[in-house]
Amino acid sequence: MISDTPPIHFRADVLVPAVRAAFDRGHTRPLTWRVAQLQALDRMLVEDADAIHAALQADLGKCAVESRLTETAFLRAEIAHALKHLRRWLRPKRVAIPLSLQPASGRLVPEPLGVVLVIAPWNYPVQLLLAPLIGALAAGNAVVLKPSEVSPNVAATLARLVPRYLDNDAVVLVEGGVAETTALLRQQFDHIFYTGNSTVARVVMAAAAQHLTPVTLELGGKSPLWIDDSVDMTVAARRIAWAKFLNAGQTCVAPDYVLATPAVADTLIAHLRIAIRELYGSDPRTNPEYGRIINDHHVERLLARIDPDRCVIGGGHDAGDRYIAPTVLYPATADDASMQDEIFGPVLPIVPVADAEAALAFIRERPKPLALYAFTSNRTLRQRFIDETSSGALAFDFAVAHLSAPDMPFGGIGNSGMGAYHGEASLRIFSHFKPVMTKPLWPDTLRLIFPPYGKTVERVIDWLLVRG
Rounded CA-CA distance 288/323 in Å is 12
Closest among 299, 291, 298, 329 to 312, alpha carbons compared: 329
Q: Out of 6-15, 38-47, 393-402, pick the least confident.
A: 6-15
**Contact assessment for residue 307 and residue 336, using Cβ atoms and an 8 Å cutoff:** yes
Strand (E) positions, 153-240? 171-173, 191-195, 215-218, 224-227
Which range (63-67, 98-102, 432-436) has the least confidence? 98-102
260-284: average pLDDT: 98
Beta strands in 228-301, from DSSP E residues, in sequence order: 257-260
Residues known to be catalytic:
218, 252
Q: What does pLDDT average to over the chain?
A: 95
Q: Is the pLDDT of residue 6 over 80?
A: no
Q: Residue 114: phi, psi to the nearest 5?
A: 140, -115
Taking residues 166-181, report their average pLDDT: 97
Say which amino acid occupies 329. L
Please give the Cα distance from 266 to 328 (Å, whole number).
Answer: 12
Q: State the CATH class of domain 12-219+420-431.
A: alpha beta
In this structure, the dihedral spanned by the alpha carbons of residues 58, 60, 63 and 65, taken in order and rounded to 10 degrees, is -120
Q: What is the Cα–Cα distance from 140 to 295, expressed in whole angstroms?
A: 37
**pLDDT at residue 2 in the model:** 39
Q: Residue 467's pLDDT is what? A: 65
- pLDDT over 70 at 341, yes or no: yes
Q: Which CATH superfamily is domain 224-409 in?
A: Aldehyde Dehydrogenase; Chain A, domain 2 (3.40.309.10)
Q: Please, which pLDDT band fits residue 210 given cuts at 50, 70 and 90?
A: very high
pLDDT tens sequence across 413-434:
999 999 999 999 999 999 999 9
User: What percent of the chain has a predicted confidence (pLDDT) above 90?
Assistant: 92
Q: Domain coordinates of the chain in residue numbers? A: 12-219+420-431, 224-409
User: Is residue 346 within 8 Å of 244, Cβ to Cβ?
Assistant: yes
pLDDT in tens, 453-466: 888 888 888 887 77
Phi, psi of 191 (to 5 degrees): -165, 140
Q: What is the mean pLDDT of residues 110-119?
A: 98
